[in-house]
Structure 1
Amino acid sequence: MSATTENTAPSPSPKPASKRASKHPVDEVLPAPKLAIYGFQHVLAFYAGAVIVPILLASAIGLNTQQLIHLINADLFTCGIASIIQSVGFWKVGVRLPLLQGVTFTAVSPMIAIGLAAGGGTDGLLVIYGAVIVAGLFTFFIAPYFSKLIRFFPPVVTGSVISIIGLALLPVAAADAAGGAGPDLDPSSGKNLAYALGTLFLIVAIQRVFKGFMATVAVLVGLVVGTLVAWVLGDAHFDSVGDSSWLGVTTPFFFGWPKFSIAAIISMIVVMLITAVETTGDVFATGEIVEKRVGREDIARALRADGLATTIGGVLNSFPYTCFAENVGLVRLTRVKSRYVVAAAGAIMIVIGLIPKAGAIVAGIPHPVLGGAALAMFATVAVVGFQTLSRVDFHDHRNVVIVATSVGLAMYVTAQPDVAKAVPDWAQIILGSGITLGSITAIVLNFLFHHVGRSRGPAVAGAPGAGLVRLAEVNDMSREQFVETFGSLFQGSQWVVERAYDSRPFTDTIDLRRAFQEALFSATEEEQKQLIDTYPTLGADSVAQGEEGEDSLKDQSALGLTRLDNAQHDELAELTSQYRDRFGFPLVLCVRDRDSFDEMLRTGWDRLNNSPTQEHAAALVEIAKIAGYRFDDLVADANPILSARSRFLEGS
Structure 2
Amino acid sequence: MSRKPSNIVYAAADKVPLGTLISLGVQHASLALLFVVYPLVAATEAGLSFEDTQILITSCVIFMGLATILECWPRFGSGLLLVQIPNTSHLPLAVQSLAAGGPALYAVMSLIAALSQLSLTFFTGALRKLFPPEVCGVAVTMLGVALAEPALRRMFGLADQGGAAMDLRYPMVSFAALVVIVVLAIFSRGPLRLFAVAIGTGVGWGLAHYVGLTHGPTGRALADLPLIDLPQLGWPGLAFSWAMLPAAILTGVISAVDMISTVVSMQRMDDADWHRADMNQAARAIRPNTVADMGAAVTGGFASASSSAAIGVAFATGTTAWRVGVVSGVIVVLAAFSPRLIAALSVIPDPVVGAILVYSSAFLVVAGMELILSRRLSDRRIFTVGLAVMAGLAVAILPELVDATPDWAHPILGSPLSVSTGVAIALNLLFRIGIRQEASVPVTTDDNPFEATTTFLEHQGDIWGARRDVISSAIPVVAEAAEMLLDTGVAEDGVVLRARFDENDLDVTLLYRGAPIEIPTLRPSPEDLLGDAAAVARFVGYMLSKRADRLLLGRLGERQTLTLRFEH
Tell me which interval the TM-score lies in, with the shorter structure as reference length.
0.7 to 0.9
Aligned pair partner of 1:68 in 20, 32, 53: 53
Task: Give yes or no for contact 2:388–2:420 (8 Å, CA) kept in 1.
Answer: yes
Aligned pair partner of 1:55 in 31, 40, 43: 40
Q: Does 1:88 align with 2:62?
A: no
Which residue does the alignment assign to 2:423?
Answer: 441
**Quick one: which amino acid aligns to residue 410 of structure 1?**
G
Report which stretch shifted further, 50-59 or 142-151: 142-151
Distance 1:248 1:185 in 2: 41
Report which stretch shifted further, 294-303 or 474-483: 474-483
Q: Rate the CA distance shift 1:263–1:193 in 2: closer, same or farther, 3 A.
A: same
Once the 2 structures are TM-superposed, how far is the Cα of residue 246 of structure 1 from its aligned partner? 2.4
Show the 5 A alignment for 1:275-294. 275-291=255-271, 294=277
Once the 2 structures are TM-superposed, how far is the Cα of residue 196 of structure 1 from its aligned partner? 0.9
Identity %: 21
Q: Does 1:522 align with 2:508?
A: no
Aligned pair partner of 1:103 in 66, 78, 86: 86
SS of the residue corresponding to residue 85 of structure 2 reads strand
Alpha-carbon deviations, 1:499-519, whole Å to 9, x = none? Answer: 456566659546973549998
Task: Give yes or no for contact 1:250–1:316 (8 Å, CA) kept in 2.
Answer: no
Structure with greater proportional strand content: 2
Distance 1:279 1:191 in 2: 35
Aligned pair partner of 1:374 in 351, 357, 369: 357
Once the 2 structures are TM-superposed, how far is the Cα of residue 113 of structure 1 from its aligned partner? 1.9
Distance 2:232 2:115 in 1: 20
Task: Give yes or no for contact 2:59–2:300 (8 Å, CA) kept in 1.
Answer: yes
Once the 2 structures are TM-superposed, how far is the Cα of residue 357 of structure 1 from its aligned partner? 0.7
Q: Does 1:247 align with 2:214?
A: no
SS of the residue corresponding to residue 475 of structure 1 reads strand
Show the 5 A alignment for 1:517-556. 522-523=519-520, 525-527=522-524
Aligned pair partner of 1:168 in 146, 151, 162: 146
Distance 1:492 1:459 in 2: 19
SS of the residue corresponding to residue 71 of structure 1 reads helix
Which residue does the alignment assign to 2:461?
Answer: none
Which residue does the alignment assign to 2:310?
Answer: 327
Distance 1:298 1:129 in 2: 28
Which residue does the alignment assign to 1:422?
Answer: 404
Aligned pair partner of 2:62 in 77, 92, 101: 77
Show the 5 A alignment for 1:476-491. 476-478=443-445, 480-486=447-453, 489=474
Q: Rate the CA distance shift 1:236–1:626 in 2: closer, same or farther, 3 A.
A: farther
Which residue does the alignment assign to 2:122?
Answer: 144
SS of the residue corresponding to residue 336 of structure 2 reads helix
Alpha-carbon deviations, 1:24-83, whole Å to 9, x = none? Answer: 8201121221111111222333333x2122112111211123432332222222111111
Distance 2:409 2:526 in 1: 63
Alpha-carbon deviations, 1:221-269, whole Å to 9, x = none? Answer: 11112112323444324424223222343455x1533334444344312
**Quick one: which amino acid aligns to residue 513 of structure 1?**
V
Which residue does the alignment assign to 2:395?
Answer: 413
Q: Rate the CA distance shift 1:437–1:206 in 2: closer, same or farther, 3 A.
A: same
Once the 2 structures are TM-superposed, how far is the Cα of residue 275 of structure 1 from its aligned partner? 1.5
Q: Rate the CA distance shift 1:340–1:40 in 2: closer, same or farther, 3 A.
A: same
Which residue does the alignment assign to 1:567?
Answer: none
Report which stretch shifted further, 177-186 or 225-234: 177-186
Aligned pair partner of 2:254 in 264, 274, 279: 274
**Count, aligned residues:** 502
Q: Rate the CA distance shift 1:639–1:360 in 2: closer, same or farther, 3 A.
A: farther
Gaps of 5+ in 2: 1-8, 455-472, 501-505, 529-540, 553-563
Distance 1:47 1:278 in 2: 19
Task: Give yes or no for contact 2:214–2:347 (8 Å, CA) kept in 1.
Answer: yes
Distance 1:390 1:280 in 2: 19
Distance 2:164 2:546 in 1: 61
**Quick one: which amino acid aligns to residue 304 of structure 2?**
Y
Task: Give yes or no for contact 2:47–2:99 (8 Å, CA) kept in 1.
Answer: no
Show the 5 A alignment for 1:96-135. 96-118=79-101, 124-135=102-113
Show the 5 A alignment for 1:307-326. 307-326=290-309
Distance 1:530 1:351 in 2: 73
Distance 1:302 1:378 in 2: 22
Aligned pair partner of 1:27 in 5, 10, 13: 13
**Quick one: which amino acid aligns to residue 271 of structure 1?**
T
Once the 2 structures are TM-superposed, how far is the Cα of residue 110 of structure 1 from its aligned partner? 2.1
Aligned pair partner of 1:344 in 327, 337, 340: 327
**Quick one: which amino acid aligns to residue 168 of structure 2?**
G
SS of the residue corresponding to residue 322 of structure 1 reads strand
Alpha-carbon deviations, 1:263-295, whole Å to 9, x = none? Answer: 434431221112212211221111111116632
Which residue does the alignment assign to 2:22?
Answer: 36
Distance 2:398 2:478 in 1: 58
Task: Give yes or no for contact 1:96–1:339 (8 Å, CA) kept in 2.
Answer: yes
Gaps of 5+ in 1: 1-22, 119-123, 461-470, 532-616, 629-637, 643-652
Q: Rate the CA distance shift 1:520–1:416 in 2: closer, same or farther, 3 A.
A: farther
Q: Rate the CA distance shift 1:399–1:513 in 2: closer, same or farther, 3 A.
A: closer
**Quick one: which amino acid aligns to residue 225 of structure 2?**
S
Distance 1:279 1:85 in 2: 14
Distance 1:78 1:530 in 2: 70
Distance 1:147 1:321 in 2: 26
Aligned pair partner of 2:548 in 614, 624, 627: 624
**Quick one: which amino acid aligns to residue 342 of structure 1?**
G
SS of the residue corresponding to residue 354 of structure 1 reads coil
Distance 2:325 2:450 in 1: 50
SS of the residue corresponding to residue 448 of structure 2 reads helix
Q: Does 1:384 align with 2:362?
A: no
Once the 2 structures are TM-superposed, how far is the Cα of residue 129 of structure 1 from its aligned partner? 0.6
Q: Does 1:182 align with 2:179?
A: no
Distance 1:377 1:425 in 2: 31
Distance 2:264 2:527 in 1: 39
Distance 2:483 2:453 in 1: 9
Show the 5 A alignment for 1:559-598. none
Distance 1:418 1:146 in 2: 36
SS of the residue corresponding to residue 36 of structure 2 reads helix
Once the 2 structures are TM-superposed, how far is the Cα of residue 99 of structure 1 from its aligned partner? 1.2
TM-score (norm 2): 0.79
**Quick one: which amino acid aligns to residue 78 of structure 1?**
F
Q: Rate the CA distance shift 1:306–1:314 in 2: closer, same or farther, 3 A.
A: same
Task: Give yes or no for contact 2:154–2:351 (8 Å, CA) kept in 1.
Answer: yes
**Quick one: which amino acid aligns to residue 317 of structure 2?**
T
Distance 1:526 1:173 in 2: 60
Once the 2 structures are TM-superposed, how far is the Cα of residue 323 of structure 1 from its aligned partner? 1.7
Which residue does the alignment assign to 1:297?
Answer: 280
Show the 5 A alignment for 1:197-208. 197-208=175-186
Distance 2:83 2:525 in 1: 49
Alpha-carbon deviations, 1:114-173, whole Å to 9, x = none? Answer: 22232xxxxx21111122123323433441215532122222211111111112211111
Aligned pair partner of 2:386 in 381, 404, 407: 404
Distance 1:618 1:639 in 2: 15
